[in-house]
Amino acid sequence: MSVPASGPLQGQRILLCVGGGIAAYKALELVRRLRDAGAAVQVAMTAGAQRFVTPLSFQALSGHPARTTLWDEGAEQAMGHLELARWAERIVVAPATADLLARLAHGQADDLVTTLCLASTAPLAVVPAMNHRMWQHPATVANVALLRSRGVQVIGPDDGPLAEGESGPGRLREPDAIVVELAAFAVPATATAPPGLLQGLKVVVSAGPTYEDLDPVRYLGNRSSGKMGFAVAASAARQGAQVVLVAGPVHLATPPGVRRVDVRSAAQMRDAVAAALPADIYIGAAAVADYTPRAYSPNKIKKTAGGQTLAVDLVRTPDILSEIADRHDAGLKLVVGFAAETDNIADYARSKLVAKRLDLIVANRVGVPGAGFESDDNAMTAYWPGGERDFPPAPKLRLADDLVHLVAERLRGDTR
Ligand code: PMT
């Protein structure tokens, strides 16, 4: 899948910072893909990166000399490093090695790349690539968490064969997929861009799982990663909507231009969604727990002597989607639900459409590889009274755009 030159990266000024790992050669392809998507690209390299790929190769592909050091008088005269930091509307670090992630997390400025990142206010995306043990080391895990908490977009890494003949999480994501993820988190349209499909509308999106606490140690949860709902929120923001994203416990960066409210339980999600109203559109992509423990135990539940079973008394959670669909005071124009099913998808989805009084329901199969929970990809069918549309397998980021287009069509009432 590729991002068209007329897409969200068109005209964006991207500074690509290349780190010193074997995957640096893939950054060459990334420059091409970014330019194909309409972006203007300049490249800065760490000293390590220059041991793997030459600056000349990046110059040939980007159309600009690659910057290699803070101490280059000629380059500084042409465009000082602070000017380059200001020029960038987006900074992408690929490959981001463990060392580079650590230096970025701790605000160091001990070479050109880290100085540029620290001197810029542009949104930062990092694309990690390293040995799987380095990626899983607690130090790297903590550095990545710190970067995420500052709103840094973390793309990948993928799981698979690594350079040293080992296998595991640590592969640089493929350049096409990196560009798709950058496009999904593209900075919302500028004042000069044409108005988006949802311009002037307020959209509330729920995403991710809910956790229902049993005691201070345990909870009931589910496999939702939030990827689908976050992609929908990002897409709606790119189409000009004012977006509130009510997120269950997930590890995803907040899309640009989106107001995020973090919650844990179904009850908290209900309150946060209600507080975000009035709105024009509600899209319920969250996998809300249907049941919660009747009573929370403030002390850890102990094994009883000889007890082989434990019965937990559960009660229904509020059905947020139905409650929202029933509200007539909130100015809602469209209520959209999701249906996660393992079988009889069309029948179950259509009956939820009617039972929950929805305007649109999006059904997807769960429990199969390459779709549903956790996966980057999905396949869906949307149903509305009197119509349906298939969305064949594709990245969630792409499907979210297609769904937002359908939402805009349904609002205009021109889909039958
Ligand atoms: O987060 P990901 O890993 O990307 O995976 C999400 C997904 C890809 C599976 C997503 O597309 C999806 O289907 N999300 C909803 C899953 C779900 O909970 O389906 P459901 O059939 O149990 O619920 C139906 C609808 O009712 C949903 O819109 C849900 O938000 C809503 N609901 C359910 C229970 C409840 N108490 N309140 C609700 O609002």
Angle between helices 98-105 and 138-149 (to 10 degrees): 50
Structural tokens at position 330: 């909130």
Active-site residues, by number, are 222
The predicted model scores a pTM of 0.73
- Residue among 371, 253, 261, 275 at smallest CA distance from 320: 275
pLDDT in tens, the chain (416 residues): 666 666 788 889 999 999 999 999 999 999 999 999 999 999 999 999 999 999 999 999 999 999 999 888 887 877 788 999 999 999 999 999 999 999 999 999 999 999 999 999 889 999 999 999 999 999 999 999 999 878 889 999 999 888 878 889 999 999 999 999 998 877 654 545 567 899 999 999 999 999 999 999 999 999 999 999 999 999 999 899 999 999 999 988 888 888 999 999 999 999 999 999 999 999 999 999 999 999 999 999 988 766 788 899 999 999 999 999 998 667 899 999 999 998 999 999 999 999 999 999 999 988 888 899 999 899 999 999 999 999 999 989 889 999 999 999 999 886 55
> Edge to edge, what strands does the sheet with 202-207 contain?
258-262, 242-247, 202-207, 281-284, 334-341, 360-365, 377-384, 387-395
Please calculate the CA angle 205-272-181 and round it to the nearest 5 degrees.
30
Q: Alpha-carbon dihedral of residues 218, 151, 258, 33, nearest 10 degrees?
A: -120
Decide whether any atom of ligand 1 lies within 6 Å of the 319 Cβ. Answer: yes
- Distance, in Å, from the CA atom of 336 to the CA atom of 383, rounded to the nearest integer, reads 10
Decide whether any atom of ligand 1 lies within 6 Å of the 317 Cβ. Answer: yes
- Distance, in Å, from the CA atom of 59 to the CA atom of 208, rounded to the nearest integer, reads 42
Q: Which atom of ligand 1 lies at the shortest distance from residue 318's CA? A: 36
Beta-strand pair 242-247/334-341: unpaired
Find out whether 85 and 76 touch, Cβ atoms under 8 Å: no
Decide whether any atom of ligand 1 lies within 6 Å of the 290 Cβ. Answer: yes
Find out whether 266 and 281 touch, Cβ atoms under 8 Å: no
- Find the 8 Cα to ligand 1 centroid distance in Å: 28
Decide whether any atom of ligand 1 lies within 6 Å of the 378 Cβ. Answer: yes
Q: Which domains does the chain have, with CATH numbers?
A: 13-184 (3.40.50.1950), 202-296+310-412 (3.40.50.10300)
84 phi and psi angles, rounded to 5 deg: -65, -40
Decide whether any atom of ligand 1 lies within 6 Å of the 325 Cβ. Answer: no
- Find the 250 Cα to ligand 1 centroid distance in Å: 15
Q: Which atom of ligand 1 lies at the shortest distance from residue 371's CA? A: 8
For ligand 1, pick from 270, 271, 292, 321 the residue to mutate: most ligand atoms within 8 Å of CB: 321
- Find the 305 Cα to ligand 1 centroid distance in Å: 39
